[in-house]
Amino acid sequence: MCLPLPSFKEVSHSQGKQGTTWMQEILTLIYSKGDLEPAKTIPNWARAPWLEHTYFKDMLQETSGPRLITTHLPCQVLAPALRKSKAKVIYMARNPKDVAVSFYHFHKMARFLPDPGSFEDFLVRFLEGTVQYGSWFDHVKGWLSQRAELDLFYITYEDLHQELGRSVERLADWLGCPLQPEESRAIQQHCSFSSMRENTMVNYTLIPCEIMDHSRGRFMRKGIVGDWRDHFTPVQNMHFHKIYQEEMQDSSLRFRGLMD
């Protein structure tokens, strides 16, 4: 894939349900220096459009750089073009058990995705990698393997949960946009789950019911770490653990509270 990347400021990656929307909001506010205006008046998909969507080309023509770009694409599709660009890349990951749970609930409301069936069935497909955007393991390992070759910042959903302020400041410094304390405070307040849940520019309630059935759930669902404990049976947990060990044995990646 050949992309006009040199004018891109920053590309934010993750597989679905790892906290992409949270990162879009944080980055919007880092670049606005804590000014809430863009986050409250422009939908997130226009502020940080998805590279893989059909509207992307038109959106690019309407904006000038530097730009925020979002994608769920795997590394083998995009990394070659990124290596030739000056883009900064942020990869957001999340405990895959919570990703599976969040993705399962999202399938129930997203009319453009197949019916997930039971959680048991969905978990089988998640572990096989036959869900949208493929295997979580390949996605994460692929992008992390590019650390030495790309200007890549890796962060987890759990990091944001544990230390939102510190994470926002680290990101801002890395982007070359250091924040004043009051700017950082404004970002933390606005990026809390409760605040984002009420913000129509980011909670997806603007999307028509033919695309997302809002009677079947909320995009901003729970926003917690460890919801897998309310969904996994002990057998599912053991099976997941076994596959995780096999797939990630060569990886240095660690998630807080992954297996307890």
Residue nearer to ligand A3P on the CB measure, 14 or 236? 14
Q: Show the tokens assigned to 111.
A: 């009319």
CA distance 155 to 102: 18
- Our finding on whether 17 is near ligand A3P (CB under 6 A) is yes
Stretch that binds ligand A3P, among 3-11, 78-86, 204-212, 219-227 (CB under 6 A): 219-227
Residue nearer to ligand A3P on the CB measure, 167 or 236? 167
Residue nearer to ligand A3P on the CB measure, 23 or 59? 23
Q: 72, 107, 139, 161: which one is catalytic?
A: 72
Q: 181 — phi, psi (to 5°)?
A: -55, -40
Among 85, 193, 214, 248, binds ligand A3P (CB under 6 A): 193
**Contacts with 43 (C-beta within 8 Å, 6 or more apart), sequence order:** 201, 202, 206
Stretch that binds ligand A3P, among 52-60, 125-133, 146-154, 221-229 (CB under 6 A): 221-229
Residue nearer to ligand A3P on the CB measure, 132 or 176? 132
- Our finding on whether 239 is near ligand A3P (CB under 6 A) is no
- Our finding on whether 223 is near ligand A3P (CB under 6 A) is yes
- Our finding on whether 43 is near ligand A3P (CB under 6 A) is no
- Our finding on whether 167 is near ligand A3P (CB under 6 A) is no
Among 29, 123, 196, 258, binds ligand A3P (CB under 6 A): 196
Among 191, 201, 212, 258, binds ligand A3P (CB under 6 A): 191
> Least distance (Å) from ligand A3P to the CB of residue 9?
20
Stretch that binds ligand A3P, among 13-21, 28-36, 48-56, 111-119 (CB under 6 A): 13-21
Three-class HEC string of the chain: CCCCHHHEEEEEECCCCCCHHHHHHHHHHHHCCCCCHHHHHCCHHHHCCECCCCCHHHHHHHCCCCEEEEECCCHHHHHHHHHCCCCEEEEEECCHHHHHHHHHHHHHHECCCCCCCCHHHHHHHHHHCCCCCCCHHHHHHHHHCCCCCCEEEEEEHHHHHHCHHHHHHHHHHHCCCCCCHHHHHHHHHHCCHHHHHHCCCCCCCCCCCCCECHHHCCCCCCCCCCHHHHCCCHHHHHHHHHHHHHHHCCCCCCCCCCCC
Residues 97-136 binding ligand A3P (CB under 6 A) are 98, 102, 105
Can 72 be counted among the known catalytic residues?
yes
Catalytic residues: 72
| Residues engaged in binding ligand A3P (CB under 6 A) | 14, 16-22, 98, 102, 105, 191, 193, 196, 220-223, 227
